[in-house]
Structure 1
Amino acid sequence: MRVSIVHPRDLGAAEIGRWRELQTATPAFDSPFLSPEFTVTVGSLRDHVRVAIMHDGPDMVGFLPFERHPLGIGQPVAAGLTDAQGMVYAKDLEFDPQQLLKDCGLAVLEFDHLVSTQPLLPARHTRHPSPIIDMRDGYEAYIETIKVTSGKTYRTTAYKSRKLQRDVGPLRHDYATTDPVALRTLLGWKTDQYRRTGRNDRFSKPWIVELVERLLATDTEHFAGTLDMVYVDGRPMAGHFGLRTATTLAGWFPAYDTAFAKYSPGLIHHLAMAEKAAGAGIQVIDMGRGEKEYKEKLKNGEYEVVEGRIARTSPGAGVHWMLRVPVRKARGTVLASPALRTTADKALKTFGRIRTSLQSS
C-alpha cells in the first residue's frame, strides 16, 4: 500500500473520477459531504485541507480527505459543519490505520460524524443516531408512515398550513433556486437563530459564507448546493440550504421567519421540501445527528455515526487529549441526559436573549 498526500486543487480528472466511482459503488458513502466536489470547494478556501490517496499497485483504492493542523492534529474537512465524515474506499480494503496516520503526517485524527462502517473506527468511540427521511419507496409511502408514527404532528401541520393561507395568503415553494437574495435572507434568519439560542454564529466567519455561496453555484449530476424557499403571499417564510448527491439530500441550514412561528413554518417547509426533493429524484434526506424535536417527528429511519479519535503515541496526541477529550466526555454526558440537556439548552437560550439585548441597546 502506497499513500500520496495532495492538496484538493491538485486532484486531476482521473483522481476525481475514481473517487466518484468508489463513492457511487457503496450506498454508505452516498453523502455529499463525502463527495470530491465538497472537499475541492472547501480546499479552495482552506489551505490546510489535504487528501490522502491510497494506491494498491497501479490502482487508486481509497481517498481520505482531512485537515492538518499544528502538532499533527487532524480533523475532517470543514470540521464542525459536516454530518458525514471518513474515507471513500474500495470494498474489502485492508490497511493499518496507524500507518495511514503516519503517512498523513498526523498524530491524531478525530471525528464526530464518522460513517459507522469505516475501517477507521476508533477503539474507543460513541455511536449516535442520524435521523433520516427515507423516501426510497416514494413520497406517498413516507407520508403514510408519518401518519402512523407522528399522526398528531402531521394533522396539526396540515391544519396550520391551511390556517396560514387563510390568514396571510397562498403558499409558493421555490425548490433548487439560485436566487442570491433568498440565500441572504436564509442566512440572516440562521444568524438570528444562533444568537437567540446562545450558539456561535457560523456565518460570522467570512469563509463559511463564501463556501455556501460557491456551493450554491455548483450544480452537476452528481453534486449540487440546493436552496429552497417557501413564500406566503409573496413573502419568504422558511427555507433551507443543503447539499445533494444524485439521490441523497443532506440537511444543513434550515431556518424560518419567527414572525410566522405560531404556524410551525419549519415543519410546513420540511414536508414541502421532501415532496419536491422526491420529485427531483432524491430518495433520502439525512437530517443529521442532533437532538431536535422536528427530526424526531419527521424521521422514518436513521443512520448511525461515530464520535471518537485514532491516535499515535506522540506529544501532539497528548496535547489533543488534554484539550479535547475531557470536554467531549462532559458534553456527551449532558447530551445523554434529557434533564441535563434541557437545562443546558435553557441556559444557552437565556444567554442568547441577554446577548441580543446588549447588542441592540
Structure 2
Amino acid sequence: MSITIVRPTDLGPAEIERWRALQQADPALDNAFLSVEFALAMGRLRDYVRVAVIEDGGRIAGFFPYERHGFGVGRPLGGFLTTCHGLISVPELKLNARELLRACRLNVLEFDHMVAGQPTFAPHEADVRPAPVMDLTAGFDAYAEQVRANSPKNYKTVRYKQRKLGREHGDVRLEWASADPALLRTLLGWKSGQYRSTGRVDRFAQPWIVRLTEEMHATATPGFAGVLTMLYAGDVPVAGHFGLRTATSLVGWFPAYDPEYARYSPGIVHHLLMAEHAARAGLHQVDMGKGGREYKDWLKSGVLLVAEGRIARPSATAMVHWIGRTPLNKARTIVTDRPELYRLADRVLKAAGRLRTGGRPSARSQKPVKP
C-alpha cells in the first residue's frame, strides 16, 4: 500500500472518476462535502488543501482530502464550513491513522463530523453523535406525517403562520434551484446580518468563502450541484437556503431569512416546502447537520451518525494543540448537549451582537431582490 500527496488540481480524469465511483458505491459517503467537485473548488481557492491518494496493489483504494496548516496541524477539508468529512474509499480500507498522518506531514488531526465507523478513524473516535435528517425515501407525505407526529402543536402553528403570511403579503411559494446570482447575494446578505446580530463571526466577510459559494452555485451536474431555494410571499423573497446536493441527497449549509418577516417563522415554513420540492426532485434526504437549533428535533425523521475525535503523533506541536483546544472543545460539547445552556449562550451572543450593531439587526438594511 502506498500514499501519495497531491493538490486537488493535480488529480487527473482517471482519479476524478475513481473518486466518484468510490463515493457512489458506499451509501455512507452520500454527502456533497465528500464529493470531488467540492475538493477541487477548495483546492482552487486555498493553497493549504491537499489530497492523500491511497493505492493498494496498483489500484486506487481511497482518497483523503484535508487541510495542512502551520506546524503540521491538520483539519478536515472545509474545516468549520463543512458538516461531513472522512475517507472516500473502498469500505474495508483500514490504515494506521498515525501512519496516514505521517504521510500527510501532519502532527495532529482533529475532527468533529467524521463519517462514523470508518475503520481507519474508528479507534480514535471520542464520541459519536446523531445528525438529524429529513428522510424522504417514502415520499414527502410520509415525511410530513412523521413531523406532525413529532410535534402536532409545532406543525399546526407553522402551517397557520404560512397561511397568515400568504393572506397578509401574497401567495406563498418556493422556487427550487434558482440560478439567479442576485438572489444568492440577497440570501448571503441576510446570513451576514444574522451572524453579526447574534454575535457570531461573519463568514462572508472572507472573500474566498463568498467565491466558494458563488462557484458552487454556478455548478450543476447530475451528480453534484449547488441548490439555491427561495421562499416568496407575493413577489418578495422572505427566506432561503443554499446547500449542496449529490444525485440523491441535499446537505444543509446556509439558511437565512429576512428579519422583517420573523413573526411568520419563514425559516421553518421554508424548510417544510424545501423538503417537499426535494422529494419531487428525487432526493432521498436532507441532512440538517448536528447541533444547533431545537427546530431540527421535530423536523427530523431520521439521523446519521458522525464522530468527534483527535489523532496525534508524538510532537511538541501536538501537545501545544491539545492544551489549547481540549478545554474549549469540552466546553462546546457541554453547551450543545444541554438545551438550557445552549439557549443561555445564544442569548449572550445575541446581546453582544446588538451592542456591536448598535441595537439594529444589520440584515434589515438588505433590500429584497425581486425576481
Specify if TM > 0.5: yes
Cα displacement (A) at 1:358? 7.4
Taking structure 1 as reference, are residues 346 and 305 closer, same or farther at Cα in structure 2, changes over 3 Å only? Answer: same
Structure 2 residue aligned with 1:267: 268
Structure 1 residue aligned with 2:281: 280
Are positions 1:224 and 2:214 aligned together? no
Structure 2 residue aligned with 1:27: 27
Structure 2 residue aligned with 1:177: 178
Structure 2 residue aligned with 1:90: 90
CA contact 1:122–1:309 (8 Å) conserved in 2? no
Cα displacement (A) at 1:14? 0.6
Which secondary structure state, in structure 2, belongs to the residue aligned with residue 140 of structure 1?
Answer: helix
Structure 2 residue aligned with 1:244: 245
CA contact 1:129–1:302 (8 Å) conserved in 2? yes
CA contact 2:132–2:304 (8 Å) conserved in 1? yes
| Greater CA drift, 325-334 or 6-15 | 325-334
Structure 2 residue aligned with 1:66: 66
Residues 95-127 of structure 1, C-alpha deviations (whole Å, 9 max, x = no match): 211111111111111111111122213535122
Residues 247-267 of structure 1, C-alpha deviations (whole Å, 9 max, x = no match): 010011000011111111011
Structure 1 residue aligned with 2:369: none
Structure 1 residue aligned with 2:189: 188
Structure 1 residue aligned with 2:304: 303
Shift >4 Å, 4+ stretches: 358-361
Cα displacement (A) at 1:28? 0.6
Distance in 1 of aligned mates of 2:4 and 2:249? 30
Which secondary structure state, in structure 2, belongs to the residue aligned with residue 129 of structure 1?
Answer: strand
Structure 1 residue aligned with 2:205: 204
Which secondary structure state, in structure 2, belongs to the residue aligned with residue 51 of structure 1?
Answer: strand
Distance in 1 of aligned mates of 2:125 and 2:269? 40
In structure 1, give the amino acid aligned to 2:213.
Answer: V
Distance in 2 of aligned mates of 1:227 and 1:336? 30
Distance in 1 of aligned mates of 2:68 and 2:103? 12
CA contact 2:251–2:287 (8 Å) conserved in 1? yes
TM-score (structure 1 length as normaliser): 0.97
Taking structure 1 as reference, are residues 285 and 51 closer, same or farther at Cα in structure 2, changes over 3 Å only? Answer: same
CA contact 1:134–1:300 (8 Å) conserved in 2? yes
Q: How many residues align?
A: 361
Cα displacement (A) at 1:360? 9.3
Structure 2 residue aligned with 1:113: 113
CA contact 2:229–2:241 (8 Å) conserved in 1? yes
Residues 222-271 of structure 1, C-alpha deviations (whole Å, 9 max, x = no match): 10011010111101111000000000100110000111111110111011
| Greater CA drift, 16-25 or 333-342 | 333-342
| Greater CA drift, 310-319 or 62-71 | 310-319
Distance in 2 of aligned mates of 1:51 and 1:21? 17
Which secondary structure state, in structure 1, belongs to the residue aligned with residue 130 of structure 2?
Answer: strand
Alignment of 1:30-69 (within 5 A): 30-69=30-69
In structure 1, give the amino acid aligned to 2:207.
Answer: P
Q: Which runs of 5+ in 1 are unaligned?
A: none
CA contact 1:112–1:307 (8 Å) conserved in 2? yes
Distance in 2 of aligned mates of 1:95 and 1:168? 57
Residues 168-191 of structure 1, C-alpha deviations (whole Å, 9 max, x = no match): 111232110110110010000001
Seq. identity, %: 52
Distance in 1 of aligned mates of 2:266 and 2:235? 15
Residues 153-204 of structure 1, C-alpha deviations (whole Å, 9 max, x = no match): 2211111111111111112321101101100100000011111111110000
In structure 2, give the amino acid aligned to 1:344.
Answer: A
Residues 14-39 of structure 1, C-alpha deviations (whole Å, 9 max, x = no match): 11111111111111100000000001
CA contact 1:231–1:238 (8 Å) conserved in 2? yes
CA contact 1:51–1:65 (8 Å) conserved in 2? yes
Residues 112-149 of structure 1, C-alpha deviations (whole Å, 9 max, x = no match): 11111222135351222211000011111111111211
TM-score (structure 2 length as normaliser): 0.94
Structure 2 residue aligned with 1:312: 313
Structure 1 residue aligned with 2:156: 155
In structure 2, give the amino acid aligned to 1:97.
Answer: A
Distance in 1 of aligned mates of 2:318 and 2:33? 26
In structure 2, give the amino acid aligned to 1:229.
Answer: M
Cα displacement (A) at 1:47? 0.7
Taking structure 1 as reference, are residues 109 and 305 closer, same or farther at Cα in structure 2, changes over 3 Å only? Answer: same
Taking structure 1 as reference, are residues 358 and 260 closer, same or farther at Cα in structure 2, changes over 3 Å only? Answer: closer
CA contact 2:354–2:361 (8 Å) conserved in 1? no
Residues 34-68 of structure 1, C-alpha deviations (whole Å, 9 max, x = no match): 00000110110001100001000211001100000
Structure 2 residue aligned with 1:100: 100
Structure 1 residue aligned with 2:367: none
Structure 1 residue aligned with 2:338: 337
Structure 1 residue aligned with 2:365: none
CA contact 2:64–2:87 (8 Å) conserved in 1? yes
